[in-house]
Structures are given as C-alpha cells and as structure tokens.
Amino acid sequence: MSNLIKRMKEEVASKNLSFSASNLSGQSEITVKDLLDKFKQENIFNIDEIIYKENSHQFPDIIVKFDQGYSLGIEVKSSSTQKSGWSINGNSIVGSTSVDVDETYIIFIKFNSVSGFDVRYALYQDSISDVVVTHSPRYKIDLEMAPENSFFHKSGISYEHIKNADEPIALIKKYFVSQGKTAWWIDDHNDDEASSATVRSWNDLIALDNGIANKAYGEAFILFPEIINGPQRSKYNRLAKWLAVKYSVADSSLRDKFSAGGKVQLTFNNQSIDNAPQVYCKLTTYKESIKAAFSSLSLNELQDYWTGYTANPDNLEARKQYWLKALIDNEISEDLLTYTKSLLEIDIP
C-alpha cells in the first residue's frame, strides 16, 4: 500500500495525474485501479487479477488477487472539503454488498482548489473510530486516529466477528448496553449527516465542549422559527424530532433550554423593550451561531423543514426573507422584529 500511495503522489507531482473536485469520487476509484493495473503490467507484487466494477455498491471498491492466493480489498474514499481532518462516514455495518477478502485497506483522497491534493491510507479496522447513524448504522472513519483508539480495540469486538455475524447490529447494540448507553437506530436520515449512536440529553451535548451545542442552537432557530413566536402548545414539536434524528438528543425539558425564565428587557440602538419573551435572551446569546446557520445549512435540509421553500436561486437573501416571513406570519410585534433584524444583521425591508 505504501508503494501505491508513493506512486500516486509522484504521478500528481509530475502532473501525469490530476483531479477534479466536481467528479472526485468516481475519479479517485478509477485512479487507484489504473495505478494497480500499471503495477500488474510491470509485474510488481505478483498481482494475478484486479476486480473493479465502476458505479457499483460493492465493498470494498477494488479487489486485488495475488498469485499466492492472497486477496486484498481497497476501499476508496474521497473528499473535496477545505476542512482539516481525515474523518468520513464508512460503509454500513450490515455489509450486504461485501466481498470476502483477506485484508481490507482504506485509501482516503482529499482534493480541492485551495489546499490541493493529499492522500492517506490505513488498515480498515484500524481506522474505525465509532459507529454512527445515517439511514442505517455505519462506521465512522478517522485516518488521524491511532489503531489502539479504534472502535474495535475499545469494544473488544473484532472486525472479522462483526463482518461475519448474522446480526452485526445486535452485537454493537449489546456493546453499547454494556457501557450503560442506549443504542438507537433511525431508518430515515440524510446520508450526508451522521448522529451519535447513543441517545443524549441537551446537557450531554453542552458537556462535549466542542461547539456542537452552539451549532445546534443556531440551526434550530433557523430551521424552526416557531421557537421564537409560534403557538405555545406545538412550538417545540418539530424541533424535538429533528434533534433526535440529527444530534441523537432526547430531552424532557427542551422548553427550558430555549425559553424558561420569564420576561427579559432588551436594549438596542438606545432603545429598550420591556417584558420580552425569554427566548430572545437565547437568540441574543447564540446570535453568531444563528447567523452562521443561515449559510451553513444545506438546501436539502432547509427544504425538509421549510414548507414551500423553492428559492431559485437559493442564496443568503432568499433564506433570510423566508425566515423573516415565518416570524411575521406568526404575528411578531414590530419592535421585536426590528430587534431581531438588527441583532442578526438582516438588512431586508
């Protein structure tokens, strides 16, 4: 594997090989397969056969068979993100499309127009940091992690055991239970997002101390403007379901996290608003996260929760207009609307 990675880096450096962020996934698989073909032609490593099916869901993506009967699997992952780190969602625990091989490695290719090209590899089971949930339980991959910190090392369950088990999910649920955690699996979820595999309270989210609670507050206020001035009996219903799906949060005192504590006084532009709802205190506290969420939330997620949002083009102004209209439709007072627009720097009439 080290020779393969070295050869890939040499090819990129010499400009014999280039990548495009628009088709990085398919291009990455074909690039690895083509380099293996060159190794075979050059009679390196006694490769007997290379099996690759383009656009298939086979795991691993590429299978290399050697003269001695040994088989090697290569799972190719790629990302065009400009974020640092080497973490990405892996394959499903169930592994219904898995092909049996002696060993599986992962190759992770990163390319974007800012930071350029980079690549890492690891033994597959040594790169599994956790089990998370998209539309089904799947592995979370982290190529910056030491093998002794892998999920399999910590759980005492071997990758081979889970791979060959009739009910792999049951094995992992049993492990979480042994750790005093409650495992849950959501069937209908966005593939691009992954939640924790165990249920958490809102305080658990805050205790993580990695900014995720701030992010959740920001996204919540944008996706569910009814939190601010919606009907009391139903204003947290959609929020509760979303928190369970996206952040694995189930909290019996969710209202307290947003609006408990009575009335507050708001001051801005040398004016004051008396007896404002407590939710405006939270709005003020998390204003930066809220402003960031206007841009960071995906169009797909917005359309899941914003009824009738079909902005074309989808841009920051269109998002802010929709959100303000939701507040106005719920009959927000003029002074609180003015305060909200000033607080979040929304310059829309």
| Cβ neighbours of 8 (radius 10 Å) | 21
Question: Residue 344's pLDDT is what?
Answer: 94
Helix (H) or strand (E) segment spanning residue 1: none
What's at 56, amino acid-wise?
A: S
Rounded Cα gap, residues 163 and 158, in angstroms: 9
Question: Residue 198's pLDDT is what?
Answer: 77
By C-alpha distance, which of 327, 311, 319 is closest to 294? 319
Cα 170 to chain centroid distance, Å, stands at 24
Rounded Cα gap, residues 349 and 346, in angstroms: 9
End-to-end CA distance of the chain: 59
Beta carbons within 8 Å of 214's beta carbon, 6+ residues apart: 286, 289
Residues counted in the chain: 349
Question: Residue 66's pLDDT is what?
Answer: 92
3-state secondary structure of 240: helix
Question: Residue 195's pLDDT is what?
Answer: 66
Q: Give the sign of the dihedral formed by CA 334, CA 337, CA 342, CA 343.
A: positive
Question: Could you tell me the CA-to-CA distances from 339 to 19, 271, 294, 345 in Å, in that order?
Answer: 48, 10, 18, 10
Rounded Cα gap, residues 118 and 61, in angstroms: 20
For residues 305 and 323, the answer to whether their CB atoms sit within 8 Å is no
Beta carbons within 8 Å of 27's beta carbon, 6+ residues apart: 19, 20, 78
Written as six digits, the tokens of 233 are 């009996």
For residues 114 and 82, the answer to whether their CB atoms sit within 8 Å is yes
Conformational region of residue 182, where left means phi above 0, alpha means psi within -120 to 50, and beta covers everything else: beta
Domains annotated for the chain, with CATH where assigned, are: 2-196 (3.40.600.10), 202-343 (no CATH)
Residue pLDDT tens, the chain, 349 long: 787 778 777 876 776 677 776 678 778 899 899 989 998 998 878 899 999 988 888 899 999 999 888 999 999 998 887 777 899 988 888 776 788 999 999 999 988 777 778 889 999 999 999 988 766 788 999 999 999 999 999 999 999 999 888 888 888 878 886 786 656 554 333 444 566 767 888 999 889 877 899 999 999 999 999 999 988 888 998 999 889 878 889 888 888 899 877 788 998 888 889 999 999 999 999 999 999 999 999 888 898 889 889 878 899 999 999 999 999 999 999 999 999 999 999 988 7
